[in-house]
Structure 1
Amino acid sequence: AYIFGSDGACIKGADEAMGDPEKKDEIAVKALDDKTLEVTLSRKTPYFVSLTTFPPFYPVNEAFAGEQGDQYGLSPENLLYCGPFQLEEWTKGNSLKLSKNQDYWGADDVALEEINISIVPEPSSAALAYENGTTDYARLNSSLVDKYRDNEAYKSVLGSFLWYMQYNFENEDLQNENLRKALTYAVDKENLTQNVLKDGSIPAEGFVTVKLSNGPDGKDYRETAEGYFAETGEDAEKLAQEYWEKAKKELGKDEITLRFLFEPADPAKSAAEFIQSELSKLDGVNIEMVSQEKNVRLKSQQNGDFDVVLTRWGPDYADPTTYLNVLLPGGSFNFGKYPNTAYTDKLKEAADAKTDEERWSLLKDAEKIAMDDVAVGPMFQTGASDLLNPKVKHLVDNPVGVPFVYKYVTIEE
């Protein structure tokens, strides 16, 4: 629900309704007629229109949903469809079959009659299915990249998820800025992405990803924003040691122990293991690895039951605030309890800016406040390595929102 309030769409009344369901009718959204929806915002929100393409804003037929009750969305028969494809068969945890929606307004432009999706947990199994000719697409993991890199079907694309180390500011040791700097610089992100992940991921340059959105000048945000924690190799190692020595003096101790929470799935598992080895190079830093499946990991974060966690965030809309709002003190996903109110004030200035140019500049200022504080330790922006049948054309892979669009896909004979 956060996406409707001040962390996202800024719909008037949404924040209040999230705190009190009795106020849901005060959310400023109403239908003026059968084809006109009026939405009143609590402040200027230049990305609002693009945000409405995100799934939480998709239309739901209230009468139909009410008829289905608690079964709504649990089977093909419990769903309605307004897109180019509809769900025909669903074997939970195993497979999906999509068929062309003949009632879709643009059905004449949809080439595929059906799409069959197999849910395969192991990338090696997916790759084998591709080799056997039973699938046209398979996602690889880092262990398979070298094997398939020269295959004509291999492609690597830059994703949009940011993986970062979230520090728990309720841990007294981690309240020390020099300790957070030491931990962040200790990780050689170039080595991590090139030699461990090997999937097209790149070192993170800040808390806003590359190729997320362009500013008023037409340039990508990261192209004109400052870069952070960019040092690698011996330079980064030297900085990490210098900050660790300062931290030890300020903390009055030579040894600390930190619980490092991560999930045992790619790319988190291999990244976390590498990060542990890097942090352990700081003499006196002891890392206790805590592996939890994603749903449990998220609950631990929400409960503040961690010291450091390797976590991720993906963009819900094409604007820097989709990331920057995550660090707002008091925000729904600020599980580390980053406390800087100057950061809040700077984002509020940006929201109230008179021009797009002024807003863009203030967003960069806000990111600088957080990165100078080492509110988090940015690690890497995801890449993806796939096998895609060269006969498959026009598959749209979006960096923001819904990843794949199948409407335009054609398959050459």
Structure 2
Amino acid sequence: MRRVKKAVALALSCAMLSGCGGSSKRDTSTFRFALAADITSMDSTAVYDTVSFDAIHAVTEGLMGLDKNGNTTNAIAKDYKVSADKKTYTFTLRDDAKWSNGDPVTANDFVYAWKRIIKNAGTYAYMLGSTVANIKNADALIKKGTTATDAEMNTLGVKAVNDKTLTVELNAPVPFFADLMAFPSFYPINEKFAEKAGNKYATAPQYTLSNGAFVMSKWTKGKSAEFEKNDDYYNKGVVKIKKLHMDLGIKPQSASANFDAKKLDFAEIATELVDKYKNSKAFKQYNMASTSYIEINHKNKDLQNANIRKALSLAVNRKSLCNDIVKDGSSPAEGFVPAKLTQSPDGKDFRKVAGKYTDYNLKEAQAAFDQGLKELGKKNITLGLLYGSDETSSDKVAEYLETNFSKLKGLKIEMKATTFKDKINNRLPGGNFDLCINGWGADYPDPTTFLSLLHKGNSNNYGKYDNAQFNTLMNKVQSETDVAKRYNLLVDAEKVAMQDYANIPLLDKGKSVLLAEYASGLVYHSFGVEYTFTYVELK
């Protein structure tokens, strides 16, 4: 199997307990963790946010999992075989894997879950389709969504041969398929339990099952969630803590104050706190394999003009945005695919191969903007800038962009603040925006995790970008079996999109956190789920 090293083990420990600012009476059985957002659901087929994915990952394992170094490894699947043409995977499940209600984990649990995400038109259903996992017949079923019949759903290329054998048929080889199996959208669901719970499934601890390291014991929405060690977990020997406590929806300022008061062992911090903590031993920064960018509504007639889009990109001083505004370890984005995500077949980072498509040049920006206005037959235009005011640092980024764009003569920017939930659930899907500060984190280690967002028909292509040359290249990617040729197609596809200013990349995002020196084993992943809690230990 292919093993991908794209994680950072946040594993610091203290030689002396007194040096950690603690005492012998400190609770070493509970890891206390704070997040700025809430858990939206524990249903792996319904969620779309990183906090929910982290919580689901704490209680559930898929066919593949993540070890203490962040490498993809066998989990519920004790073994798997790949056919000679690399289009059929046969997984053999562990005999000792079971749900927290005592039921064994079976192959049908995966079949049911994968059909469920398509049948319920889940946001991440597209991952089963040709742009990602490329599972046989997935595209046609995703298109049908809620209207697909049971007979039609049975044509999906996933079969339970018996309770412990699962086969998956692909339309073409997918180099990162094993890594995908560690992502929550491919996790199993106990069909009998879920169907009995109905609409209540995954909405509270009593309607949630576990087959992983922890079991959800409490959940006060918008406030906190607690998880206890799962004594029925097949790998329970590696789990050192008895409880995992999450503070939810807590602002970074409050989280950092609680960390200082030793009420938390981990806290994510915001831009304005970086200078305060940057010399602390608890302060950590890491690459997120995530891009912050401006989503462009290509249905807006003014933004259909390429020179207007070019001007907006050239007007952004990304270096200053990173160093003076966010200060969280982010770096200027050079393209849509972030650096340090994946390597070419000959070992080169994608960004080194693909090159740079961003620059700051106000003179050229004004020239492009003037040309765009001339082509539109206008003297000035007004564009709205949508952003989630409750997203970390988003308001500061929005204000900075407004300052940058205000230097373009003939452009008026209207600030459109909303909540993250409204932005994702309503404004973006409804096309109710001109420009929107958006972000995307890698779900798996391949450029398609970003480039597929610009593919025609993708549910996350909120700006309705549609470029025939780009679409053709991405279609070829789906069927190309030569890994080198496939990689070159991805480089070419990004070039088309970036030279067309399909969107405006801003930052390769970084993250700043505080981690207690007595804590070790928390694993951060730059793609997929963010955190693995299985190996956490408090000394």
TM-score, length of structure 1 as denominator length:
0.95
Change (3 A) 1:221 1:337: same
Cα displacement (A) at 1:217: 1.2
- Structure 2 partner of 1:375: 502
Gaps of 5+ in 1: none
Q: Partner of 1:174: helix, strand, or coil?
A: coil
Cα displacement (A) at 1:238: 2.2
Give matches, 1:122-141, under 5 Å. 122-141=251-270
8 Å CA contact retained: 1:244, 1:282 = yes
In the alignment, structure 1 residue 62 sits paired with structure 2 residue 186: no
Deviates more, 1:320-329 or 1:309-318: 309-318
In the alignment, structure 1 residue 411 sits paired with structure 2 residue 411: no
- Structure 1 partner of 2:96: none
In the alignment, structure 1 residue 176 sits paired with structure 2 residue 302: no
- Structure 1 partner of 2:223: 94
- Structure 1 partner of 2:409: 283
Deviates more, 1:155-164 or 1:394-403: 155-164
Cα displacement (A) at 1:67: 2.1
- Structure 2 partner of 1:19: 143
Whole-Å separation in 2 of the counterparts to 1:309 and 1:71: 33
Q: Partner of 1:302: helix, strand, or coil?
A: coil
Give matches, 1:27-176, under 5 Å. 27-176=156-305
Whole-Å separation in 2 of the counterparts to 1:108 and 1:269: 44
8 Å CA contact retained: 2:222, 2:248 = yes
Cα displacement (A) at 1:348: 1.9
Cα displacement (A) at 1:339: 1.8
Opposite residue 532 of structure 2, the aligned amino acid is V
Q: Partner of 2:225: helix, strand, or coil?
A: strand
Cα displacement (A) at 1:285: 0.3
8 Å CA contact retained: 2:288, 2:441 = no
Opposite residue 295 of structure 1, the aligned amino acid is K
Percent identity, please.
Answer: 38
Opposite residue 275 of structure 2, the aligned amino acid is D
Q: Partner of 1:253: helix, strand, or coil?
A: coil
Deviates more, 1:308-317 or 1:12-21: 12-21
Whole-Å separation in 2 of the counterparts to 1:295 and 1:6: 28
Match of 2:375 among 244, 250, 262: 250
Whole-Å separation in 2 of the counterparts to 1:303 and 1:120: 26
Cα displacement (A) at 1:120: 4.4
Whole-Å separation in 2 of the counterparts to 1:166 and 1:131: 37
Deviates more, 1:183-192 or 1:85-94: 85-94
CA deviation vs aligned residue, 1:48-77 (integer Å, no higher than 9, x gap): 221111101111111121222222212222
CA deviation vs aligned residue, 1:14-46 (integer Å, no higher than 9, x gap): 222223222322212111122221111223322
In the alignment, structure 1 residue 391 sits paired with structure 2 residue 515: no
Whole-Å separation in 2 of the counterparts to 1:411 and 1:295: 35
CA deviation vs aligned residue, 1:61-102 (integer Å, no higher than 9, x gap): 111212222222122222221111111222222112211111
8 Å CA contact retained: 1:29, 1:40 = yes
Match of 1:347 among 467, 474, 483: 474
Whole-Å separation in 1 of the counterparts to 2:489 and 2:439: 24
Task: Please provide the CA RMSD for this pair.
Answer: 1.4
Which structure dedicates a bigger proportion of its chain to helix? 1
Gaps of 5+ in 2: 1-124
- Structure 2 partner of 1:356: 483
- Structure 2 partner of 1:241: 366
CA deviation vs aligned residue, 1:108-129 (integer Å, no higher than 9, x gap): 1211111122224211111111
Q: Partner of 1:322: helix, strand, or coil?
A: helix
Opposite residue 376 of structure 1, the aligned amino acid is N
Q: Partner of 1:99: helix, strand, or coil?
A: strand
The aligned length equals: 408
Whole-Å separation in 1 of the counterparts to 2:436 and 2:249: 27
Whole-Å separation in 1 of the counterparts to 2:249 and 2:255: 6
- Structure 2 partner of 1:267: 393
Cα displacement (A) at 1:349: 2.1
CA deviation vs aligned residue, 1:335-381 (integer Å, no higher than 9, x gap): 21212111011112223324111111111000000001011110112
The runs of 4+ residues in structure 1 deviating greater than 6 Å are: none
Whole-Å separation in 2 of the counterparts to 1:387 and 1:74: 30
Deviates more, 1:283-292 or 1:245-254: 245-254
Opposite residue 293 of structure 1, the aligned amino acid is T
8 Å CA contact retained: 2:134, 2:478 = no
Cα displacement (A) at 1:330: 2.4
Cα displacement (A) at 1:248: 2.4
Opposite residue 16 of structure 1, the aligned amino acid is A
8 Å CA contact retained: 1:120, 1:126 = no
In the alignment, structure 1 residue 292 sits paired with structure 2 residue 421: no
Q: Partner of 1:342: helix, strand, or coil?
A: helix
Q: Partner of 1:26: helix, strand, or coil?
A: coil
TM-score, length of structure 2 as denominator length:
0.74
